[in-house]
Amino acid sequence: MNLKERTSYELSQATMALIATEIDGLWGSIVYEEGASKPIYVAEPPTKIIEKAHKQNGEELLARADAAKVVCGFNNKPPVVISITKNLYYFPTHSPSNPNCSWFSHTHSTTVSKAKYGGAIVHFRNGHKLEIPVSEMIMTNQLYRTAQFRFMIDQQIQPLQKKKALETLLKALFDEELNLD
């Protein structure tokens, strides 16, 4: 496989998947991005990239994983939200403590189908497909759990967004009234 190489990577809205890979005893990531001509090899494991993204957003991975536990009761392989405003929701293939853990963007992942020899094929919104050695049932469950988590987070945020919109509207009306005098 022809790969671009980097020593570090920052998650973005284009990130579709972070696939754990072991080369010469060292764990790294193969990163798939929407619109990229070829994958990127990063000399950091996927969970480390996810942890760095959390820290850049001011939180630890453990705190974000606890959000899925509190909101939805997910104790194992919880999905995480890295940025609500950027729609960066990710779900793991294994426990994040497992070096073989890969992460998928919920925004980019549309469906999961069964692979020929027992793994799963993850289908992305851009038509790309990625076969992985994790069962279809596990991956489908992870996709649905992330959808549930995302919905629950959205339900909690909607009242705050409505309140902010109303405050902005009232401020604009009040400012307009002052300018008319």
Task: Please report the pLDDT score of residue 62 as a whole number.
Answer: 47
**Average pLDDT per block of 10 residues along the chain, 181 residues long:** 83 96 94 94 95 72 57 74 87 95 98 95 97 97 92 76 66 65 55
| Per-residue confidence (pLDDT) for residue 39, from 0 to 100 | 96
C-alpha dihedral sign at 101, 4, 111, 86: positive
What pTM does this model have?
0.81
**Domain boundaries, position 167:** 4-180
- Give how many domains the chain has, as a whole number: 1
pLDDT value of residue 93: 97
- Picking from 88, 86, 99, 2, the residue whose alpha carbon sits closest to that of residue 46 is 99
Gap between the Cα atoms of 8 and 56, Å rounded:
14
pLDDT at 153 (0 to 100): 82
> Would you state the pLDDT for residue 4?
83
What per-residue confidence (pLDDT) applies to 69?
A: 64
